[in-house]
Amino acid sequence: MEVIIQPTYKKLAAVAAKIIRDALLKKTNLVLGLATGSTPIGVYEALVGMHKTEGLDFSEVTTFNLDEYVGIPPNHPYSYHTFMETHLFSAINIPAENCHIPQSTAVGHAEFCERYEAAILDAGGIDIQVLGIGKDGHIGFNEPSSSLGSRTRIKTLTRSTLEANAPHFGSTIDDVPKMAITMGVGTIMDAKQCLLLASGESKAVAIANAVEGPITAEVPASVLQMHPQTVVIIDEAAASELKRVDYYKQVYANKQELLSKDD
């Protein structure tokens, strides 16, 4: 795992956006796996900025979102469909038919999940998967105890996730959708590259467990230790519980020096 520690949220978002831009410049029909939540918003803002100022072209890009709540309409203000439209899709030149987000109804979900997996394969697989992390170490909506080989399916959300989402949906956890359709941990692991993003002290324990703890279904993000191309991009606060901060910084500095000699 490569761990990149940046001084601020803005800088970590810029590093992640640059990785995506460089990949898109090399492969115009890039397949992106996308995440929601507050953490990737800065990355999407940076990509929108690159589209507007440099003409970064998304016309051949295909996207697959990690997850969606079950039981709210796609046009609900806090659906992930609305989130993606607001923060990215409406501001770049990506064709609507190239954007895939799990459905928000449980009706026929088993067939939907199979079709979603098949669509990812048909697109050639995900080149770069953007990930945030829950405080309990979940990725997508793969809550602790999710099978590390799981595929796209319906999951019941934990109390901790319901509580984290309650402010969006109403005053109590009873107002929050209880289930979601999410890519599985195995689906995420099939991506060619994963970018795991985290910002702030509230994510420090989850990041330490994911990066330096044992690989366990209790911390689904820890399986990324087995992924050959995961880059963990975090700010100082999210790095504050890691044991090897100095080493990660040294590795990154050395890599930058090597790259500058290549220029």
Q: Please state, in angstroms and as integers, the Cα–Cα distance from residue 20 to each residue in 57, 104, 191, following that order.
A: 12, 28, 14
Q: Is 66 in the site for ligand GLP (CB under 6 A)?
A: yes
Tell me, rounded to whole angstroms, the distance of Cα 115 from its chain centroid. 21
Q: CA-to-CA distance for 181 and 140, rounded, in angstroms?
A: 9
127 touches 191 (CB < 8 A): yes
67 catalytic residue (yes or no)? yes
Closest CA to 206 of 193, 191, 218: 218
Q: Is 68 in the site for ligand GLP (CB under 6 A)?
A: no
Which CB, 57 or 158, lies closer to ligand GLP? 158
Which listed residue (132, 137, 177, 220) binds ligand GLP by CB under 6 A?
132
Applying CB under 6 A, the span of 53-61, 94-102, 130-138, 188-196 interacting with ligand GLP comes to: 130-138
Cβ-based neighbours of 22, under 8 Å, separated by 6 or more: none
Strand arrangement, sheet containing 62-65:
2-6, 230-235, 193-198, 128-131, 31-34, 62-65, 99-100
Which listed residue (134, 137, 177, 220) binds ligand GLP by CB under 6 A?
134
174 catalytic residue (yes or no)? no
Instruction: Please tell me whether residue 222 adopts helix, strand or coil conformation.
Output: helix
Quick note: the x/- pattern for ligand GLP over 88-127, rule CB under 6 A, is ----------------------------------------
Query: How many Cα atoms within 13 Å fall on the side-chain side of residue 12?
Result: 27
Q: Which of 51, 87, 138, 227 is catalytic?
A: 138
Quick note: the x/- pattern for ligand GLP over 9-48, rule CB under 6 A, is --------------------------xxxxx---------
Site residues for ligand GLP, 157-196, by CB under 6 A, read 161
Residues at the contact surface with ligand GLP, assessed by CB under 6 A: 35-39, 66-67, 132-134, 140-141, 161
Q: Which residues are the active-site residues?
A: 67, 136, 138, 143
